[in-house]
Amino acid sequence: MKSSLGEIRQRDMFLKSITLDQLQAFEAAARHSSFTRAAEELFVTQPTVSMQVKHLTQAIGMPLFEQVGKRVFLTEAGKEVLSTCQEIFKCLERLETTIDDLKGMKQGRLRLAAVTTTKYFIPKLLKPFCELYPGVSVSLEITNHEALLARLNDNLDDLYILSCPPERDDIEATTFLDNPLVAIAPANHPLAKQRNLPLECLAEEPLIVREEGSGTRKVIQKFFERHGISPRINLELGSNEAIHQAVIDGLGLSVISLHTLKFTEVKNQLAILDIEGLPIRCQWQVIYPKKKQLSITATTFLEYLLATSQQFSVDK
């Protein structure tokens, strides 16, 4: 059936009035069920997100969200727009990868996401890579284990760096470096001079741990469970540096990645305890969804990582 000129014009107007910025704002707001969090992710203000969604809603001609209490939910039309949005973004991502591959390593983008504890070596490792490939623009998102897995599920990056990835068949994982977790105490702590301490000594001391969602915390919890030990957690802190400082100040002991100590001044004020069963032997891994087609930039970085990362080994 032929469309009338009027219908074609109307469809044309509809398509022309929708912009990628509107789709991006809508997709982020739908994924987070929050305009505020979408604005944070996109580095724009919340009114900007509201305005983009408003214009998209006008172009579609039907409400895309409905508000119940403080939460927003997608309407049927909103769900349709979201799935089309996701297809459009997947197509654009494939296009970007193809274009990057055509340009080779002269130009391109590398999106990395890495857990908090990798910040002691990933930037050092990136420096020579960036010097080798000056045309490649690299973004590095540093976040904790749980937030990194959320990024993986949302397919936001090319490669994800963490230790102890989830056991999933749909993930490709490559190990590249050791990540020993050691028990630390203030340098002048009575346990610091003793050798072959039983693991139970950790249950007798107050323990400082990272926040919920941290990979380090998850590993330690599992380790204690496996050994039937119930630690006395007296403090939760959101950064490894805060843990160093709290241990130095005598607030408790902690179990932490040895990488956090390697290049820090504070290591002279801390002692690594000689405890049976420690260090906990974890490994740094690069992961990505098996279905993902890696760009030349991502493949080149992966090869570079495997070839050069041993210089950052702390496991002597």
Candidates 163, 254, 260, 295: give the one binding ligand PGA (CB under 6 A): 163
Q: Integer distance in angstroms from the first to the last C-alpha of the chain?
A: 75
Helices (H), the chain: 5-17, 20-32, 35-42, 46-60, 76-103, 122-132, 145-153, 201-204, 215-226, 240-248, 259-262, 296-308
**Strand-strand pairing, 280-289 and 159-163:** antiparallel
* Distance of alpha carbon 112 from alpha carbon 191, whole angstroms: 40
Closest to ligand PGA by CB, 166 vs 277, is 166
Smallest gap from residue 129 Cβ to ligand PGA (A)? 21
Q: Any idea what DSSP says for residue 164?
A: S
Q: How far is CA 306 from CA 79, 175, 264, 265, 286, in A?
A: 41, 8, 25, 28, 10
Closest to ligand PGA by CB, 35 vs 120, is 120
Smallest gap from residue 152 Cβ to ligand PGA (A)? 12
225-254 footprint of ligand PGA as x/- string (CB under 6 A): ------------------------------
> Which of 18, 25, 68 has its CA nearest to residue 45?
25
* Distance of alpha carbon 158 from alpha carbon 309, whole angstroms: 18
- Please list, in sequence order, all residues whose beta carbon lies within 8 angstroms of the beta carbon of residue 246, skipping any fewer than 6 positions away: 208, 235, 237, 252, 254
Closest to ligand PGA by CB, 115 vs 177, is 115
Instruction: Give the number of residues in contact with ligand PGA, rule: CB under 6 A.
Output: 14
Binding window for ligand PGA (CB under 6 A); candidates: 83-91, 95-103, 113-121, 302-310? 113-121
Candidates 30, 56, 72, 115: give the one binding ligand PGA (CB under 6 A): 115
| CA-based R_g, the chain, Å | 24
Q: Is 260 in the site for ligand PGA (CB under 6 A)?
A: no
Closest to ligand PGA by CB, 22 vs 216, is 216
Q: Is 144 in the site for ligand PGA (CB under 6 A)?
A: yes
Q: Is 116 in the site for ligand PGA (CB under 6 A)?
A: yes
Q: Is 162 in the site for ligand PGA (CB under 6 A)?
A: yes
* Distance of alpha carbon 292 from alpha carbon 170, whole angstroms: 10
Smallest gap from residue 304 Cβ to ligand PGA (A)? 21
* Distance of alpha carbon 60 from alpha carbon 79, whole angstroms: 12
Binding window for ligand PGA (CB under 6 A); candidates: 36-44, 156-164, 193-201, 297-305? 156-164
Binding window for ligand PGA (CB under 6 A); candidates: 15-23, 92-100, 114-122, 167-175? 114-122
Applying the rule CB under 6 A, the residues between 52 and 91 that interact with ligand PGA are: none
Closest to ligand PGA by CB, 142 vs 201, is 142
**Contact residues for ligand PGA (CB under 6 A)?**
115-117, 144-145, 162-164, 179, 210, 214-216, 282
